[in-house]
Chain A
Amino acid sequence: MSAATIITLPDQSTATIPKMNFLSKENGLLSWLLTGDHKRIATLYLISITFFFFIGGALAGMIRLELLTPQSDLVAADTYNKLFTMHGVIMVFLFLVPSVPATIGNFVIPMMVGARDLALPKINLLSWYLYIVAGCMMIWTMASGGVDTGWTFTTPLSTHYLNTHVISTGLAIFVAGFSSIFTGLNFIVTIHKMRAPGMTLFRLPLFVWSNYAASILIVLGTPVLAITLVLIVLERTVGIGVFDPAKGGDPILFQHLFWFYSHPAVYIMILPGFGVISEVISTFSRKRVFGYTAVAFSSVAIAVFGFFVWAHHMFIMGISNYAALVFSLLTMLVAVPSAIKIFNWAFTLYKGSITFETPMLYAFGFMGLFTIGGLTGVFLGATGTDIHLTETYFIVAHFHFVMVGGMLMAFLSGIHFWWPKWTGRMYPEKISQLAAVVTFIGFNFTFFPQFILGMLGMPRRYAAYPPEFQVLNVFSTAGATILGVGYLLPILYLTWSLKYGEIAGDNPWQATGLEWQTQSPPLTENFPVIPIVDHEAYDYEWLARQQQKEVASVG
């Protein structure tokens, strides 16, 4: 790399916030609402998804509070149905799907590949506006009475037996789907066409690889969900009967089409999280990610296998035994690339110089919780155990371990990791470490009892339950309170750090990614001169040499 790309030495004590950066370049509301800068759009996304995360979180809080007692006493059963439906819809479509790609990915991917922006900045902005439209439609839905189909919109329940706002929710998800399609499309084009000279595919940071894999899933999967929701909306409005058995249609067809997206959607949500973990684990153990190529290809393998396992959501829905057998087998296959990742991260840690900064603590949380979540997925992929466990709290616990314990931990890890790059300031280290630990403890308290509840046979989606399940439910609700504190803390200290945080300098973690070789916060055009890449990702010796050279040349 040319020495010109390193602007200043990472001397933290004398670091200052550069006068010229993407935050300070222009002022005023319009300069944000009409921006084409990927970093500003990422910031807009960060604010909006945090807003919806707290709405979804509040709904989750109500659910847990209701389940504190066996009777449905806090809310009526109908209201409870609406609570968990809107919790699911908001968390899946308005938080988890855009969480890492649209915020962190949007912010760092162009810098990681050495580009000035995403390939299509206007489409990127359009994507955010679509997200906001979808969000407004969801809020309207909530304000005008909500929806209670469950986030899966199971037919004929959603088309015949309920009279809540299925249409507006369906259209909201349709719009949100196009928002994520445009993000995914933008990433694929950027990664293919915008890489800096010398940045070959196998020099890309693994974060880029995993977002690429997720983008493929977004681009191929989301349109199928879109047409499925259109058919649901048409069924409710003009009575089109593709999913209506009375008219010769087939509700199982709905299940196939829905899960053809919604299973890959699980990987859309988790793959970018894998990317964050690769970056963090490598940086804080000062080692190249063990088996870089294997980790890169395991992302692609997950994306490919992810399209051939959808029917494992349908083992009890009347698919043939033979289909169940094949899909069960294919489901087991997905465990292989996921395990490759976990093992490679473990080997990266082996003999590394490990330090326990906040992002690393979250990453450790991720590794533990995701492993549990992934392994319980194997229970559910086996047809025999699935028939006992599906539609119980075991499933709720399983996907919360993956989605919340996995993805949300990864998201927080990433936010803490790139926060100094994003804002130019550090957050208070001790309290953020505390938050990571509190989140981990709270999470396990909340969701581990639910595995046992599911084993004992407590069904999901009911407001009331037999009294013998109360002890474990009280545990779970108590844990949720701790978890809530764990999520509230980062909001407080991160906001605080915007003004009072210590100035971070350009590369506080001594990380190797190109995004760390520029100023914090970066310039609007990211790099004064487009870098020429002559080293592999995670080459810490290159970084050390680079700094010696700087020291020699500066003085």
Chain B
Amino acid sequence: METMIEAEGLSKSFRIAKRRPGLLGGLRSVVNPQVRIVKAVQDLSLLIKRGEMIGLVGPNGAGKSTTIKMLTGILQPSSGTVSVAGLSPLRQRKELARRIGVVFGQRSQLWWDLPLIDSLRLLRFLYRVPEEHHTANLDRLRSMLALDEFIDTPVRQLSLGQRMRGDLAAALLHDPELLYLDEPTIGLDVVAKARIREFLLAINAEQGVTVLLTTHDMDDIEMLCPRMLIIDHGRKLYDGTVTDIRTRFGGERILIAELNPAELMTLPHDADGQPIVTELPAGVRQVQAESPRLCLNFERDAIPAHELVAWLGARHRLRDVTFQEPEIEDVIRRIYEEGLLLQEDEASMPA
């Protein structure tokens, strides 16, 4: 089956009853409830093919968890259709559960008081995996995730990184076709993060597991996900590649020029003793000057890169020049704050 997840016009609204104070208020709330409607997800459509690795990004409260809940059968959509692995998540919840794996960053799916190995063995019965198959998977995951050093420790005593590896193993023991990860690298140190990312790339490449990953960590996205979805206020704002977003919205680039230290000294200095480049062209601003380097931010639209290099080179002798792409977080932040994607939508609509 080529299509893994197919959703059309998914929406979810919650009716929140307003609590009225006092004893009489409690009674009145039952008889005449005042409700307000919260639209958590509005008209979301997406198509995810088997074997893809996709990042789901959005501010808190954007509707990401609500979407995942609808995809896994925990929540019933208010409207729209969804099919995962050809099944209806709500009606065929148990059947679907057998084919997916889920990892929550903050809450473990393992049994708290038991040693990790017990949890992993127990899952065989939970998912009805044939014994040989289970043992083979377990061995493979043990070596891929280096579980042996703590596999006999009660889950409650594991460090966050260890527990995350345990959770990943638990989610994959039954050979799911699809893996949902909710903030998998949150709170982990750099080494642990790298390990997890390597693992995810491996299972995606070697076993073709489709991966849907929710995260606030942009490095996760950049290193793992060729495709990303941005969700905000319950709507899908963007569905495309990371580089595309950067080019469309990463309005600024950074020029890092290395000068001769003596050369830098010849520049006028400001009150803090920092060298300043004067009379910068429009759309260019100085960000930093730390001998022997000079960093200039420039807007793509204002001046092409080579022109800026030429301009600077005409004034000073340059030893080296490099360019840096904007941080994707800054890009995303700008999109949220300035509603850039919505502006684009409006711009592209017929007048």
Question: Are A and B part of the same complex?
Answer: no
